[in-house]
Amino acid sequence: MAESHNPTCVALYDSSYAILFDDGSWLHQGLSNNLIKTVRRKKSAIEFLTLGPDDQWFLRFSNGDVDYNVEDDGLEYELERSTSLPYKVWFNSNNGYVIQDDDLKCSWGNVPFDFHNKLNGRQKSLPTVSDIAFGPNDTWWVSFQDETARWSPDLPSNIVRKLNKTKYLVLDPMDHTNYFIVRDNGSFEWQVNDDFDNDINNDSDDEDEDDVIYMNPKDIRYTQTSISHRFLNGKSIHDVRDDLNNNLISVRDIPMISAVRTRSGNIWSLNNRRLWCFRHAQNIHRIPVRIVDERPSWFNERIQQLENPFQIHVRYSDDDSGSDSDE
């Protein structure tokens, strides 16, 4: 079985990003030479990293050391006068900041008023802050150690819809379309750029020019009312599902699903038997999906006739009429 290589911390700022993995490695794009040289000099795995405006950054290493580069005078003063070691620092795009000391108490400056009120109330009683994310236009999200979270009312609706099942969120203070989410079930979801996709999946450049996204299969729609219980090669869809459950095969062993993205943002599978296998396997919360530009001739008419595109009937006869392109 392959060694674990899951992201433990992500930092986003404009066109720059960093991804820390649970094996101690990290991948990045657009970071300052100063930050990269600091990491090389420390020779210790990074546990926490945030990015800010004007190449500001904060690092905490696994050996307990911290390092940072800050330009804001108020933040620099707070860090230098502190009698305890900073544990985490978060930046926003307006030279605002939050400092969490190693005793987990927070101090801050130049943050949105509603965020200030939320943290000010929490300072007086437990639980303490766990994580913070700042987005553009004074948007924010904060989680607490009692597993609750609060967020600003102006966060994009596509992110807000996911937050009730989110335990870790990273926003980009400069771009409202960029985000990284860890769900309560441990699965990941993000939207950043193609390089980020490749780095987080340890992929080389894809020779296919179509866009590849990563989704929970339960969020993908079928484009048929029924499917055969066998692929064209005779393999049972139930056997494929069982092989996934028993770790005899992985998502990567199954050809990637092709799909159409409509203007509303909905994703419609062109490979419904494969989608059925992923949806009915246990603990598969993220699969690659190739978004194709050209829609099949039948696409528009068929999806308009579907009453529930998240359900599909499995046929056990030899009639394969209406079968999709799965092999």
- 178 and 280 together in one domain: no
- 143 and 215 together in one domain: no
pLDDT in tens, 233-279: 889 999 999 999 988 888 888 999 999 999 888 999 999 999 999 99
What's residue 199's pLDDT? 81
In a domain, 200, yes or no: no
What's residue 80's pLDDT? 85
> 167 lies in which domain range?
7-192
pLDDT in tens, 127-160: 789 999 999 999 999 999 888 999 999 999 989 9
- 153 and 302 together in one domain: no
* Domain termination site, one of 192, 227, 250: 192
What's residue 264's pLDDT? 84
- Using a 10 angstrom Cβ sphere, with 0-12 exposed, 13-18 middle and 19 or more buried, the burial of residue 80 is exposed
- 255 and 170 together in one domain: no
In a domain, 176, yes or no: yes
Percentage of the residues of the chain whose pLDDT score is greater than 90: 56
- 183 and 297 together in one domain: no
Report the domain count for the chain.
2
pLDDT in tens, 167-201: 999 999 999 999 999 988 888 888 888 788 878 87
pTM of the model: 0.62
- 34 and 149 together in one domain: yes
Q: Which of 66-75, 192-201, 222-231 has the lowest mean pLDDT?
A: 192-201
What's residue 188's pLDDT? 87
pLDDT value at 121 more than 70: no
- 141 and 81 together in one domain: yes
**Distance from C-alpha of 194 to C-alpha of 290, rounded to nearest angstrom:** 13
Q: In this structure, what CATH number is given to the domain that contains residue 236?
A: 3.90.1530
In a domain, 321, yes or no: no
Percentage of the residues of the chain whose pLDDT score is greater than 70: 91
Mean pLDDT of 107-124: 84
Q: What CA–CA distances, in Å, run from 215 to 48, 71, 171, 195?
A: 26, 38, 18, 17
In a domain, 205, yes or no: no
What's residue 210's pLDDT? 53
What's residue 326's pLDDT? 57
- 146 and 295 together in one domain: no
Average pLDDT, the chain: 87
In a domain, 204, yes or no: no
- 32 and 128 together in one domain: yes
- 46 and 87 together in one domain: yes
In a domain, 327, yes or no: no
Q: Residue 213: what are its φ and ψ, rounded to 5°?
A: -120, 170
In this prediction, residue 202 has a pLDDT band, given cuts at 50, 70 and 90, of low
- 144 and 22 together in one domain: yes
CA nearest neighbour of 279 among 312, 307, 323, 321: 312
* Domain termination site, one of 140, 165, 192: 192
